[in-house]
Chains A and B, each alone.
Chain A
């Protein structure tokens, strides 16, 4: 079973601060996705990174896929209270012989941005 470890598990910061959350694995993934989940709702896809070393920006959010496609990071600049939520990374495991691709999730980083 391929595992994705996310760190930190919890993060509480003040509005305006920068932060980075990490998603690490010993396995290689075909691609990696980042989601944000708010209480009582399902995860919402933020971005998909596919190529090793790829960097994608979404306003104040910067996503990076590791060169070896085993890890990823999410950096938020000048965090705002609206960024509060559970950030989940999910990796697509390569198709195995006789098997199928799978989308496996990390347990998430719960971010709180205080006004």
Chain B
């Protein structure tokens, strides 16, 4: 079965360190999302890309977070420097077969997430 692959599954780091999370979207999908999930806030949209171009990153703290898609098979989310309040589960999701530009017509598939703990 095709699936979204996220690495690492778990990451424990110290405050101030750089963290890089990776996502391999499903082959052929042209939309990639990054979400962060916490108990208090639920799932928050950080950024999303269509055809590798950033469409919206308004939910992402720009001073420390960056998201890129170096190629169609890899999306990265970096935090530098990391802080304890960044501790959360980070999800990547992909969707879109390229037949539509409407989000409401896309079916999204989520990865299993990266559980980040910043001490």
Contacts and interface: CB of A to CB of B under 8 A. Distances in A.
The answer to whether A and B assemble together is: yes
Given A88-B43, A105-B43, A100 B108 contact: no
Interface of B: 4, 33, 35, 41-45, 55-56, 91, 93, 102-105, 107-113
A45 to B, nearest CB: 6
Given A88-B43, A106-B42, A108-B42, A101 B102 contact: yes
A102 B110 contact: no
A7 interface: no
A104 B45 contact: yes
Interface stretch (A16-24, A35-43, A56-64): A35-43
A103 B42 CA distance: 13
B45 A92 contact: no
Interface of A: 30-31, 33, 40-45, 48, 50, 88, 90, 92, 99-108
Contact of A42 (B41, B91, B103): B91
B104 A42 contact: no
B104 A30 contact: yes
B113 A42 contact: yes
B113 to A, nearest CB: 6
Nearest to A105: B43
A33 B112 CA distance: 19
